[in-house]
Amino acid sequence: LAGNPAADPAPHVAELEAALRGLRMSIAPLLHPLSPLRARRARARQVMLALDDCARQARGLAALAADPVASHDVRLTAACARVEAAVSRLTAPVAPSSAAPAPAAGPSPHPATDRALAHLHDLEAALTGLADPLRA
Name the residue ranges covered by the structural domains of the chain: 5-131
102: left (phi > 0), else alpha (psi -120 to 50), else beta?
A: beta
Burial of 90 (0-12, 13-18, 19+ CB in 10 A): middle
Spatial separation of the C-alpha atoms in residues 80 and 77, rounded to whole Å: 5
By the 8 A CB rule, do 66 and 110 touch? no
Q: Can you give the pLDDT at residue 21?
A: 94
Mutual angle of helices 74-91 and 111-135, in 10-degree steps:
10
For the stretch 92-128, pLDDT in tens is 775 444 544 455 455 556 667 778 888 888 888 888 8
For the stretch 28-69, pLDDT in tens is 998 888 888 888 899 899 989 989 998 888 888 887 776 666
Spatial separation of the C-alpha atoms in residues 37 and 52, rounded to whole Å: 22
Spatial separation of the C-alpha atoms in residues 134 and 55, rounded to whole Å: 17
